[in-house]
Amino acid sequence: MTSKESYFIFRIIPILLFLSFTAGCNQSHSPNQSRNVELPQPSVKSPEFTTGYIMGKFNPADHKDFVVIDSIYADRPGLYLRKDTYAAFLQMHAVAKSKGINLIIRSATRNFEYQKGIWERKWTGKTKIENGKDASLAYPEPKERALAILRYSSMPGTSRHHWGTDIDLNSFDNDWFAEGDGLAIYNWLVEFGPSFGFCQPYTPKGSDRPFGYEEEKWHWSYTPVSSQLTNLASSALKNDMLSGFDGDTTASDIDVISKYVLGVNKACR
């Protein structure tokens, strides 16, 4: 064997084999291939899944199951999610990004006190509701005012955002998702979000979903955990448990638990 032949065998061939291997590893994955990504599995019976938990009676910054969202994935710092939900989102974000879809978290965990602030600002008219009206003037009767606010905002103690499993993405305007980049993002989420465990809980209302909030194309829920919490809410959460905020007496008149907490897309149950 000549020196040139030896060089080719011991130096060049290993390099060619290595390059062939890495090329195979670096091939881009199609969205369908992303369905095979192994997601983190939540515990089936968590001691934290109590009525206090589903009502948001805790601080996510101090909770062992929560983590702060890196600001590169959100529109502002200081947002929190459950660790399992965040891990699944990161996997979904990476695959979406590789397809030109940029997912931005606009809202994540909101505990009871946070939701109380949103609700009471709308109740008192400090924040206008979605039709631009001052609810305190437009709807002086408490039940009608609560129903007007409930089109898009939850009563404290009833929001899925308490759970750390739900995120709002990119825009709070359904019309934004009807064309251009918004439509591309929404269509991608509808097709591939379930591959990562995410479901849209507030689809258009109709015979399959006669009650609850209006459609929210931006709201997505991590069902491996949120379905457990929905079941717990169904069995343990009662209307008369909702108190400590303006208009709380309307909860039983409206039957908020049955019509709003449980009034979600069946695919997300």
Split into its structural domains, the chain has a count of: 1
Q: Name which residue leads in pLDDT, 24 or 179.
A: 179
**Does some domain include residue 31?**
no
Tens digits of per-residue pLDDT, 37-86?
A: 455 554 444 546 999 999 999 999 999 999 999 999 999 999 999 999 99
Tell the burial category of 241 from Cβ atoms under 10 Å away from its Cβ (0-12, 13-18, 19+): middle
As a whole number of Å, the CA-based R_g of the chain is: 23
User: For 103-152, what is each residue's pLDDT tens digit?
Assistant: 999 999 999 999 999 999 999 999 999 889 999 999 999 999 999 999 99
Mean pLDDT over each residue of the chain, to the nearest integer:
88
Backbone φ and ψ of 39, nearest 5°: -95, 150
Residue 171 has pLDDT above 70, yes or no: yes
E-state strands within the chain: 66-68, 80-82, 105-107, 166-169, 198-199, 219-222
Query: pTM score, two decimals?
Result: 0.83
Q: Which residue has the higher pLDDT, 269 or 39?
A: 269
What tokens were used for 169?
Answer: 């993405």
> Is 80 exceeded by the pLDDT of residue 13?
no
DSSP state, residue 10: I
Straight-line distance from the first to the last Cα atom of the chain, in angstroms, rounded to the nearest whole number: 70
Q: For residue 217, what is the domain's CATH number?
A: 3.30.1380.10
Residues near 49 by beta carbon (within 8 Å), at least 6 away in sequence: 228, 229, 232
Structure tokens at 171: 């825009």
pLDDT of residue 5: 45
Give pLDDT, residue 110: 98
Tracing tokens 């717990």 back to the chain, one arrives at 232
- The answer to whether residue 20 is domain-embedded is no
Q: How many residues does the chain have?
A: 269
Give the structural domain span for 238.
Answer: 47-268
Residue 23 within a domain: no
- Alpha carbons within 13 angstroms on the beta-carbon side of residue 139 total 21
In a domain, 201, yes or no: yes
